[in-house]
Every structure is written in structure tokens, then in C-alpha cells.
């Protein structure tokens, strides 16, 4: 059976603040730790009114100090904004403080609007084309494996420690799958986002995987939207929040906060809106514990991922915790 982890985007719920969203993330990570989930990753988003994560490294340090066992990671660090050397030092420090519990997930998307990208990259030029080299450099710094011909071969990332965080390359495209395979890295595919087919992406990754200092064989996860409740009706009601949120994202007019189920169910949808929402239904798993388990198993029979990571955009934190608990119980996870 596949391992289960959690990806948290810290949605700032309607009527709440960024500070309360981050407090909820702490509570959720602690609950995931107790329930037996394998990983808890936090995302990177800039200049967002609806999402609170802008610095995964800082939040990981906080969450690692508040939990005992679960692996903490970035989902992910948007590398075009940063120096591979600085990212390596950040995550070496995290690994030194919490050995064996840190994952560094890397992405190549901007994680924000063009204006925030310009601000983050002011005074430098980095394009997504440089991403494979950035990954190779980061690997060299974290594993002390830079080739002698490298421009910074004499450089070491500090602190110098005996262990290294796990490196994961993340994406929602076939190109991302191929890059991860070429680098010999573990690969996480965002099934809940984008248009590429998860089954095909993970197949491309496995077929083209090259053993490396990171991994002898391919290792993958699929991140899927999962909302679980005691009844199917309640699960669908909770999922209506994400329906409205992703509808606004698709329109290019993102809502200022993550809507409540009440706001979403009372929203005056047009026939076009309902058609857009219907097109996304295959991107999510919603229902009772037994329904959700059956759907997840069926999906992964096709995906063949080693791990699944659940994304549960639920407005009410108590309902989200309950969803995690139901999922842990139906999969017989041990805390």
C-alpha cells in the first residue's frame, strides 16, 4: 500500500486572517504527526491575499519544532527566484536541526503574479531554462558531489553535516517528469492542478529515470485533492468551497479569500460556471471514507505512485482535521 502525506497551502479562509491560517497550519501539522501521515509539505505563493505561505523554509522550521516524527518539506521552493547555494544552506541548516525529517521539494513555476516575479528577481536574470542546472548545483552542494570542473568546486554549503534532506522535483507537466528522470530525483506530480495526465507523466518519469547519487530507482508521488466526511452529501458541501475558488482562478479573477461552504453553495453560478466546475470533477476525490479509499486505490492502480499526497482545501479547520482523521482510520494508519 502507498504512503500518505499532506500538502498544505494555508488557505486564508473567508472571515479569517493570514495569522489565523498559519496557526491552523500548525494545528493541522501536529494532528497529521499524531495520525501517522508520512510527510507534511507547505507551498510557496507570493503576493497572495488568499494563501499565506510565502517562505516555506521559515514555516518548516516552525512546524518541525512543533512536531515529533513527521517529515516536513517544501511543496515547493520556486528555484528561478533563488540561488541554489542559498537554498542548499537553508535546507542543510534545517536538516542539522531536525535530522532525517526534512524534504526539499523544488519547482520552476513563479508561484505568483508577474509583478511579484519581477520583484523577487530584481537585479538578476534567471529563466526556467536554467532550472536543470540549478537542480544539479543544489544536489552537488547538499551531497558534496560537485565535479572538479564546476565553477564553485571548492565551495561547501554550511553547516557541514553527515545527512542530507531528500530532494524532490515537483511539477504538473511532462517536461517536469522528464527533468526529474534525467536528474535521478524523486518526482512529485500535482494531479490536482494543471492539464497534463498524471498516469502518463509518471510513466514518462519511470521509463526515463536515470540512477543517481539521489536514488538508485524511480520514486514518485501524486498529489490529489481529497475531501472526506461522514456522508457523501457533507463531503460535497465541503468541496463546494474549492469549486468556487478554482472557478475564480480559471477566470483570472482570484477571490480575496478562500470561500466558506455557505458562500459557495449560495453563489449565483451561470451555466458556463457550472460547466467549468464539472470539467474539474475528475481532479478530486470526494466522499465517505470507504468511497474515498476505493477511489484513491483505483487512481493509483493507474498512476503506480509510491506515495499519495492529499490536498484538502476545506474552509472549516475542524472539518479538515476530521477529514484527515477519517482518512487515517480507513487506511489503518498508525500514529
Three-state DSSP class for residue 309: strand
Domains of the chain, first to last = 3-225+287-330 (3.20.20.30)
- The strand pairing partners of 72, in sequence order, are 40, 102
For residue 109, pLDDT beyond 80:
yes
pLDDT in tens, 161-181: 999 999 999 999 999 999 999
pLDDT in tens, 216-247: 999 999 999 999 999 999 999 999 999 999 99
Mean pLDDT of 99-123: 87
Q: Which residue has the cell 477566470?
A: 251
pLDDT in tens, 28-43: 999 999 999 999 999 9
H/E stretch holding 241: helix 232-251
Least confident of 73-77, 279-283, 324-328: 279-283
What letters, b where the CB count within 10 A reaches 16 and e where it falls short, cover 99-129?
eebbbbbbbbbbbbeeebbeebeeeeebeee
pLDDT in tens, 263-321: 999 999 999 999 999 999 999 999 999 999 999 999 999 999 999 999 999 999 999 99
Burial class (CB in 10 A: 0-12, 13-18, 19+), 93: middle
Amino acid at each position: 500500500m502507498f504512503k500518505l502525506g499532506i500538502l498544505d497551502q494555508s488557505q486564508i479562509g473567508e472571515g479569517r486572517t493570514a495569522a489565523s491560517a498559519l496557526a491552523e497550519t500548525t494545528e493541522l501539522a501536529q494532528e497529521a504527526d499524531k495520525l501517522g501521515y508520512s510527510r507534511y509539505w507547505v507551498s510557496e505563493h507570493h503576493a497572495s491575499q488568499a494563501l499565506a505561505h510565502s517562505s516555506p523554509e521559515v514555516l518548516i522550521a516552525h512546524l518541525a519544532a512543533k512536531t515529533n516524527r513527521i517529515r516536513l518539506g517544501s511543496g515547493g521552493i520556486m528555484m528561478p527566484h533563488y540561488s541554489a547555494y542559498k537554498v542548499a544552506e537553508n535546507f542543510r541548516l534545517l536538516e542539522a536541526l531536525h535530522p532525517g525529517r526534512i524534504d526539499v521539494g523544488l519547482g520552476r513555476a513563479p508561484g505568483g503574479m508577474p509583478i511579484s516575479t519581477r520583484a523577487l528577481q530584481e537585479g538578476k536574470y534567471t529563466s526556467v531554462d536554467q532550472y536543470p542546472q540549478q537542480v544539479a548545483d543544489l544536489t552537488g552542494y547538499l551531497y558534496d558531489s560537485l565535479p572538479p570542473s564546476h565553477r564553485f568546486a571548492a565551495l561547501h554549503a554550511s553547516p557541514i553535516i553527515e545527512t542530507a534532506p531528500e530532494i524532490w522535483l515537483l511539477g504538473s507537466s511532462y517536461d517536469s517528469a522528464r527533468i526529474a528522470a534525467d536528474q535521478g530525483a524523486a518526482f512529485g506530480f500535482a494531479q490536482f492542478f494543471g492539464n497534463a495526465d498524471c498516469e502518463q507523466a509518471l510513466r514518462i518519469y519511470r521509463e526515463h529515470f536515470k540512477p543517481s547519487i539521489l536514488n538508485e530507482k524511480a520514486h514518485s508521488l501524486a498529489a490529489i485533492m481529497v475531501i472526506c466526511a461522514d456522508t457523501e452529501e457533507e463531503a460535497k458541501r465541503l468541496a463546494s468551497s474549492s469549486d468556487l475558488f478554482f472557478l475564480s482562478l480559471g477566470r483570472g479573477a482570484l477571490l480575496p479569500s478562500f470561500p466558506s461552504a455557505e458562500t459557495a453553495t449560495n453563489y449565483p453560478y451561470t451555466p458556463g460556471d457550472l460547466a467549468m466546475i464539472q470539467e474539474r470533477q475528475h481532479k478530486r476525490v470526494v466522499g465517505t471514507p470507504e468511497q474515498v479509499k476505493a477511489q484513491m486505490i483505483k487512481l493509483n492502480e493507474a498512476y503506480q505512485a509510491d506515495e499519495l499526497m492529499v490536498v484538502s482545501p476545506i474552509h472549516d479547520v475542524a472539518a479538515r482535521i476530521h477529514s484527515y482523521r477519517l482518512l487515517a482510520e480507513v487506511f489503518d494508519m498508525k500514529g
